Amino acid sequence: MRKAIQNLEESKIRDVANAGLGRSDVLAFWFGESDEVTPDFIREAAIESLRKGETFYAHNLGLPELREEVARYASRLHGDVADDRIAITSGGVNALMLAVQMLVDAGDEVVAVTPVWPNLTAQPLIMGARLQRVSLTPSNGAWTLDLQRLLDAITPFTKLLIVNAPNNPTGWTLSRAEQLAILAHCRKTGTWILADEVYERLYYEKSENGCAPSFLDVAAPDDRLVVAHSFSKSFLMTGWRLGWLVMPPAMTHNMGKLIEFNTSCASVFTQRAAVVAMQRTDEVTPRIVAHLKTCRDTLVPLLQAVPGVELQGAKGGMYAFFKLGGFDDSLALAKRLVAEAGIGLAPGNAFAPEAQGWLRWCFASKDVARLEEGVRRLANWLGPH
Ligand SMILES: Cc1ncc(COP(=O)(O)O)c(C=O)c1O
């Protein structure tokens, strides 16, 4: 067995969730998904496809109709994106892995902005790359980027920069000025950018297109840029395992080959559902975002009022990331909260060593009262400690 695989860390989020297995009294906020089911009309499209007998392999790059819909969707948000730059993938995580397989050789230098969803840092390690983390800096419960430190870390030897914004878990978002500076720098060093923009629509600040700033807004089609997306978060489709990539047109043919050797294709009936999700996005996504904003605006002030909590409201994403004064070990704390308070949170050190002592709370809850009850439990548990 390869050492790189043996050395991969197991998921600390799973570790906490396993501690709560079979306990229906635990309020679970540990995973990054809503507890709301996929809208009916999207599910119906999949059922109809199966009824018609669409049970066969599809094109490596995805159904042409879906690639066209995705290109139209991306163009509406970011200006012209041609369908020959799109590949449909088996989830956002598969999109990211394919991009890393495409770009990273064993021994290559990869820079990642952290804290970040652990899959993003595991993938280059699987390829045998050398990973350099550039940490955001926490201050009063908010995480910010030291841009110069990031630019200094990216040299002509850096093959790939991995950046996820809006960020899971911190909610940090790249500004337009930072994107422009990073792009200009990476053009000079010849570094590829892998932008994980799966939370672009879950953005709570004012913007013209209802999206967080995207690298697609500022890059040319031929730039060394690959953007990873997912149907999971903006369409309530986590279990469907569908995502997509936007890449330079010259890469697409080779991406098709790589998909062949990974998954061959995404299933047709899920892609049929995704076509409908894209066509009717205005019936789905704005409602989800409005609800998530209500969730954030309910949870954040309640948590901020708990003594010892350090937290700022996230600009994007679906997480409250906070520090609880007096507790240094996130994993031990998260396990105690499951066992003793009946709340399931993700430990901060699952996302980076520098987030030790922090906790992630996914606020995508259909019923806002669950969030209120969660904070009540946390405050009660903290009371006598
Ligand atoms: C930052 C980030 N990228 C990508 C994904 C992948 O999502 P999926 O594989 O469900 O499409 C997630 C899921 O939590 C995420 O948080």
Tens of pLDDT, residue by residue over 251-303, are 999 999 999 999 999 999 999 999 999 999 999 999 999 999 999 999 999 99
User: How much of the chain exceeds pLDDT 90, in percent?
Assistant: 92
How far away, in angstroms, is 38 Cα from ligand 1 center? Answer: 16
> Looking at residue 313, what is its pLDDT?
84
Q: What percent of the chain has pLDDT over 70?
A: 99
Q: How far is ligand 1, taken at its centre, from the CA of residue 197, in Å? A: 9
- Is the per-residue pLDDT at 67 higher than 80? yes
Question: Is 171 touching ligand 1 by the criterion CB < 6 Å?
Answer: no
Quote the DSSP letter at residue 156.
T
pLDDT bracket for residue 384 (50, 70, 90): low
Q: What is the mean pLDDT of residues 160-183?
A: 97
Q: Binning pLDDT at 50, 70 and 90, where does residue 189 land?
A: very high
pLDDT digits (tens, 9 = 90+) for 322-375: 999 889 999 999 999 999 999 999 999 999 999 999 999 999 999 999 999 999
Ligand 1, pocket-test mutation among 11, 119, 170, 360, most atoms within 8 A of CB: 119
pLDDT at 336: 94
Helix (H), strand (E) counts: the chain: 14, 15
What pTM did the predictor assign?
0.96
- Structure confidence at residue 239 (pLDDT): 96
Give the pLDDT confidence score for residue 385 in this predicted structure: 54
Phi then psi dihedrals of residue 51, to 5 deg? -60, -35
Q: Ligand 1 center to residue 91 CA distance, Å? A: 8
**pLDDT range class, residue 22, cuts 50, 70, 90:** confident
Q: What is the separation of C-alpha 30 from the centre of its chain, rounded to a whole number of angstroms?
A: 14
Instruction: Tell me the pLDDT band of 54, cut-offs 50, 70 and 90.
Output: very high
Task: State whether the beta carbon of 92 lies less than 6 angstroms from ligand 1.
Answer: yes
Average pLDDT score over residue span 178-193: 98
Q: Tell me if 88 sits within 8 A of 244, measured CB to CB.
A: yes
E-state strands within 74-206: 86-89, 109-114, 130-135, 137-139, 142-144, 158-164, 192-196
| Three-class DSSP category at 169 | coil
| pLDDT range class, residue 20, cuts 50, 70, 90 | confident
Taking every pair of C-alpha atoms in the chain, what is the biggest distance, in angstroms? 62
CA distance 213 to 63: 28
Q: Using a 6 Å cutoff on CB, does residue 374 contact ligand 1?
A: no
When the pLDDT of each residue in the chain is averaged and rounded to a whole number, the result is 96
Round to whole Å and give the CA distance between 97 and 92. Answer: 9
pLDDT digits (tens, 9 = 90+) for 111-144: 999 999 999 999 999 999 999 999 999 988 889 9
How would residue 23 be classed by pLDDT, with cut points 50, 70 and 90? confident
384 Cα: distance to centroid of ligand 1 (angstroms):
37
Report how far ligand 1's centroid is from the alpha carbon of 205 (Å).
21
What are 322's strand-pairing partners? 359
